[in-house]
Structures are given as structure tokens and as C-alpha cells.
Amino acid sequence: MPLDDKVAAAKHIDALLKRLIPAGGFQLKWRITVDPAVPENSPERPAILVELGGPDSPAVLAQNAELLRSFETVALKSLRLESEEHDLVIFDCRNYRSGRLEELTQAAGHAAERVRRTGQPYSFSPMSARERRIVHLALKAHGDLFTQSEGEGMRRYVVVSLKEEESRGNSAR
Amino acid sequence: MANEQGGDMRLLVEEIAKALVDEPEQVQVSAVDGEQTTVLELRVAPNDLGKVIGKQGRTARSIRTILGAASMKLKKRYTLEILE
């Protein structure tokens, strides 16, 4: 189901959660918003926001919100979204996503400062594609820096380096 | 049946798998009880195998994460095996 009908997609996610949440015995409620308001500075423009809440919220957010991301993955896959459409549906719980956005933006700023000071490339910890994108976008405005993702699959991470360092790398010094 | 103490792990895996595949009627989950661990064996249509596993096993990992979180309440270990 490509996301041309947001309301149908929202209903699909609601029906899915109505089956999964009780079957798993999770004490969670959810609210689904189509075309949610997003903060001005957010690089993400989701078409559908699914907010989970309730007594099991701490479990949802444990280990870097692994359970939150797992629910999101199952929902995205069941909607048959192409990977470039994955940003259209976002799961959140207790504003975890906006907190991460702030953390990652700050971390990107610190990394930029450090790379300029030391001249050495800086590698972030491995992150999801969604989080790597936030880091890339946060550093895009820094014209003297260069970012790229390295590593495979779950171990993929962002590397920041000086642009001139990139070109110098090939010449023998 | 789902109750306040926890859910039904076999049903949980079945519901997730049915949401992912093209042929939900082919989804079968059987529980093999051990002393400490129950193994849930998931069977899907051959063409749907990739859908429950996903790129680099990401979808399978998500199913296992949901199963792991749900089974914490049951004080029993569950493992998921996807049969080919």
C-alpha cells in the first residue's frame, strides 16, 4: 500500500495495533495522527504519527527504544512501504523522537567542532538510517565538512571529516 | 487468551506474521514446550519467507524483540524459529 491514502494507512495501523497489543499482553494505548504538526527545525515530515503511551512505556523505550522501533518496522512492512517512504510513518512514545533529534543535533555540533580542532575524522556510534539522516542533515550547513555513512547493516555509522582532508587523502605527502 | 498477567505468545507471533505476508492463510505457528523455554515455530508460504525475515534479518529481529518484551511478563522464555 503506497502512502497515497493516509487515512486508510492510519486505519491499517490502528487495526494492526488492536491485534498485536492485546495478544502481547502489553499495557499500551496509542493515538494516531494524520499530518501531525512538527517543530520548525525538524528534518522529518511524517504523514502519520503513532504515539504509544501507558504503563508499559518504559519497556517501549528501553535499550534505545528497541521495542518502539520494532513496532514501527512491523507497521512499515505491513503497509508495504518502499524504503524511501519510511519517513512517512513515525512511532513515538513520551516524546522520545524529539529528544533524540535534539541529542543528535547537539552531538553533530560537537563532532563538527572536534573535527575542525583536531583535523581528524570523527565516527559516530552505529545508528538507524533515520538517525543517520538527522546527523547528515544537521551537518549539511557546514560547508567545510564532509559526512558519509560507513559499515554495513545494523553497524552502519556516520563519519565526519574535513573536506580538504578528503582531497588530501589521495596525494602522497 | 490475553489477560492482565500477559498475552498469548503464539497468537502474537501469528498476528505479526499475518500482517507481513501476502498469504496470511498459510501462516502457522506451533509451540514446542520445553522445561524453561518454549520454541515457537513459524511457517509461512515459501514466497513470504523474505517478508518475515527482511533485509539483513531486520524484520525477524523486530518480531523477536516484540516477543521478548511480551514474554518478560510471563516469566518464561520464548524463542522464535522461522522454518524454511
How many angstroms separate the CA of residue A122 from the nearest CA in chain B? 26
Range of the structural domain that residue A52 is part of: 6-94
Please judge whether B69 and A25 are an interchain contact, meaning their C-beta atoms are less than 8 angstroms apart. Answer: no
pLDDT at A45: 83
CATH for B2-83, options being 3.30.450.20, 3.30.300.20, 3.40.50.360, 3.30.750.200:
3.30.300.20
Which residues are CB-neighbours of A64 under 8 A, at least 6 positions away? Answer: none
Given a cut of 50, whether residue B2 has pLDDT beyond it is no
Instruction: Indicate whether this model's pTM tops 0.90.
Output: no
**Grid coordinates of B58:** 531486520
CA–CA distances in Å: residue B63 to residues A54, A162, A165, B53: 21, 40, 43, 9
CATH label of the domain that carries residue A78: 3.30.300
Over residues B43-68, the mean pLDDT reads: 95
Domain annotation covers residue A50 = yes
Please judge whether A23 and B20 are an interchain contact, meaning their C-beta atoms are less than 8 angstroms apart. Answer: no
Instruction: Tell me, yes or no, whether A128 and A68 share the same domain.
Output: no
Please judge whether A23 and B66 are an interchain contact, meaning their C-beta atoms are less than 8 angstroms apart. Answer: no
Please judge whether B72 and A153 are an interchain contact, meaning their C-beta atoms are less than 8 angstroms apart. Answer: no
CB A108 within 8 A of CB A139: yes
Instruction: Tell me, yes or no, whether A29 and A75 share the same domain.
Output: yes
pLDDT per residue rounded down to tens, chain A (173 residues):
556 789 999 999 999 999 999 999 999 999 999 999 887 777 778 999 999 999 999 999 999 999 999 999 999 999 998 777 778 899 999 999 989 999 999 999 999 999 999 999 999 999 988 899 999 999 998 989 999 999 988 899 999 999 875 555 544 44
- Dihedral of the CA atoms A136, A142, A143, A146 (nearest 10)? -40
Q: Is B7 on the interface with A (CB under 8 A)?
A: yes
Which residues are CB-neighbours of A27 under 8 A, at least 6 positions away? Answer: A54, A55, A56
CATH label of the domain that carries residue A130: 3.30.1370.50
The tally of domains found in chain A comes to: 2
pLDDT at B75: 81
- % residues pLDDT > 90 (chain B): 79
Residues of A (75-94) whose Cβ lies below 8 Å from B: 77-78
pLDDT at A2: 54
**Domain termination residue (choose one: A33, A65, A94):** A94
Domain annotation covers residue A12 = yes
Under the banding of pLDDT at 50, 70 and 90, the label for residue B3 is very low
How many angstroms separate the CA of residue B69 from the nearest CA in chain A? 7
Instruction: Tell me, yes or no, whether A135 and A90 share the same domain.
Output: no
Given a cut of 80, whether residue B84 has pLDDT beyond it is yes
Domain annotation covers residue A105 = yes
Residue type at A66? E
Q: Is A154 on the interface with B (CB under 8 A)?
A: yes
How many angstroms separate the CA of residue B56 from the nearest CA in chain A? 7
Instruction: Tell me, yes or no, whether A119 and A76 share the same domain.
Output: no
Helical (H) or strand (E) element with A101? helix A96-118
Collect all residues of chain A within an 8 Å Cβ-Cβ radius of residue B17: none
**Domain termination residue (choose one: A39, A72, A94):** A94
CB B40 within 8 A of CB B13: yes
How many angstroms separate the CA of residue B83 from the nearest CA in chain A? 19
Give the nearest partner residue to B66 out of A71, A77, A78, using CB atoms. A71
**Domain termination residue (choose one: A68, A94, A120):** A94
Collect all residues of chain B within an 8 Å Cβ-Cβ radius of residue A24: 2, 7, 9, 12, 66, 69-70
Instruction: Tell me, yes or no, whether A155 and A139 share the same domain.
Output: yes
Q: Is B6 on the interface with A (CB under 8 A)?
A: yes
pLDDT at B5: 59
Domain annotation covers residue A1 = no
